[in-house]
Amino acid sequence: MTDARATPLAEFHLRHGARMTPFAGWALPLNYPPGVKAEHEHTREAVSLFDVSHMGQVALRPGSGDPADAARALEALVPGDILGLAEGAMRYTQLTTDSGGIIDDLMVTRRDDDLLLVLNAARAAADIAHLQDRLPGDVTIEPLENAALIALQGPQSAEALAPLIHDSHRLSFMQAHRFDWAGDPLWISRSGYTGEDGFEIGLAADIAEELAEAFMEDDRVRPAGLGARDSLRLEAGLCLYGQDIDETTSPVEAALAWSIGRARRPGGARAGGFPGADRILRELADGPARRRVGLRPQGAAPMRAGVMLFETPDAAEPIGRITSGGYGPSVGGPVAMGYVEARAARPGTTVHGELRGRREPVEVVKLPFVPQGYVR
């Protein structure tokens, strides 16, 4: 823990009684005194404040000053439609390997003169090296320094944000804009990783404490840690890099084909042209050999990452594996996701998870486990 980097909200976490944990080289709150379950439930009912300052934030600055040039360059590295982003629009995509695996998943926002990328903390260094290696020299890769990122998540987040940041409620899902708070610039997007409505607020490190405490003056707002973030994103069917996706899983296998824009597909204006396009477009056409699915263990025991899945109670060879799993507080029981061979990927299929030497039935279900609360 001593080697872990502190975020700009370190004092905030201490003051609010956080139990800290190392995560991707950072010291982050695992939970606060109410605990993971209460924080999870509060996020689904009201609004929670998450410190996501550990995430990598990188600006891609085109030499021309026209973000379309950066978008065109980035499209050579991702299957998403980046050129099609309007100013202030953001999109989820993946940096892919030459063999069609996933280097990282990320958010890309088109701003007036650059693209803003938000990367996983554990992958930021690898991503930046990859961008430096593959992007043309006239696109400058600029990691944001001294930057904090605060997420407000939950159905009441618009009401909690509006008194401090007028007009923020006008943003719709996956839109972003610059706002001012007492003369300081904030970059706010209507986005998040909990399945709820919410906002992510990028700001200078030195005002992060002050803004976080200003949010906390609203009784509806409570802090939440990584534990709740994990159970919330799992119920929302969202991938955690390193568990549910990695350099061996393709976006199609990972059930992320929805993020591959029409323009990048066969017949589209800019079809293919990203690393691993051969495999990814072939899987789009023919279906992948395995697929990420939602899994609902039928017993009461949680099944966590690593549990092997079998087609029958006595099959010798597994047909899949759980990659994320645990207790879903809003579902009120165990939830999981993982990969199964295509023939077992249809919702309603029963597979069998091996837990402590016993095989227990698990139902393949549609994701997400909870309805999305996004405001479009």
Partner 1 sequence: MKFTEDHEWLDADGDIVTVGITEYAAKELGDVVFVELPEEGTMVTKGDEIVVIESVKAASDISAPMDGEIVEVNADLPDKPALVNDDPLAAWFFRMRVDDPAVLDDFMDEDAYQAHIA
What's the CA gap between 243 and 304, in Å, rounded?
11
> Helices (H) and strands (E) in the chain — how many of each?
8, 20
Residues numbered 299-318 forming contacts with partner 1, rule: CB under 8 A: 300-302, 304
- CA 176 centroid distance within chain: 16
Please identify which residue in 231, 250, 323, 324 interacts with partner 1, judged by CB under 8 A. 231
What's the CA gap between 277 and 117, in Å, rounded?
21
How many residues bind partner 1 (CB under 8 A)? The answer is 18
Q: Is residue 327 at the binding interface for partner 1, with CB under 8 A as the rule?
A: yes
Least Å distance, CB 264 to partner 1, is: 39
CB closer to partner 1, 221 vs 303: 303
What's the CA gap between 303 and 40, in Å, rounded?
19
CB closer to partner 1, 15 vs 304: 304
Please identify which residue in 10, 27, 36, 238 interacts with partner 1, judged by CB under 8 A. 36
What's the CA gap between 17 and 330, in Å, rounded?
24
Please identify which residue in 28, 29, 31, 253 interacts with partner 1, judged by CB under 8 A. 31
Nearest to 339 by CA among 247, 245, 276, 260: 245
Q: Which stretch binds partner 1 (CB under 8 A): 37-45, 277-285, 310-318, 368-376?
A: 37-45
Q: Is residue 72 at the binding interface for partner 1, with CB under 8 A as the rule?
A: no
Q: Is residue 37 at the binding interface for partner 1, with CB under 8 A as the rule?
A: yes
Q: Are 110 and 67 in contact (CB under 8 A)?
A: yes
Please identify which residue in 137, 314, 356, 371 interacts with partner 1, judged by CB under 8 A. 356
Q: Are 228 and 39 in contact (CB under 8 A)?
A: yes
Q: Amino acid letter at 98? A: D
CB closer to partner 1, 8 vs 353: 353
Q: Amino acid letter at 30? A: L
Please identify which residue in 62, 79, 154, 227 interacts with partner 1, judged by CB under 8 A. 227
Please identify which residue in 5, 22, 23, 35 interacts with partner 1, judged by CB under 8 A. 35
CB closer to partner 1, 37 vs 321: 37
Cis, peptide link before residue 368, omega less than 30° from 0? yes
Q: Are 106 and 94 in contact (CB under 8 A)?
A: yes
CB closer to partner 1, 40 vs 291: 40
Token duo for residue 250: 């393709």
Residue 167 to residues 158, 338, 348, Cα–Cα distance (Å) = 10, 40, 44
Q: Is residue 272 at the binding interface for partner 1, with CB under 8 A as the rule?
A: no
CB closer to partner 1, 39 vs 218: 39
Q: What's 159's DSSP letter?
A: H
Q: Is residue 359 at the binding interface for partner 1, with CB under 8 A as the rule?
A: no
Q: Which stretch binds partner 1 (CB under 8 A): 45-53, 127-135, 295-303, 314-322?
A: 295-303
Binding site for partner 1 (CB under 8 A): 30-31, 35-38, 40, 227, 231, 300-302, 304, 326-327, 329, 334, 356
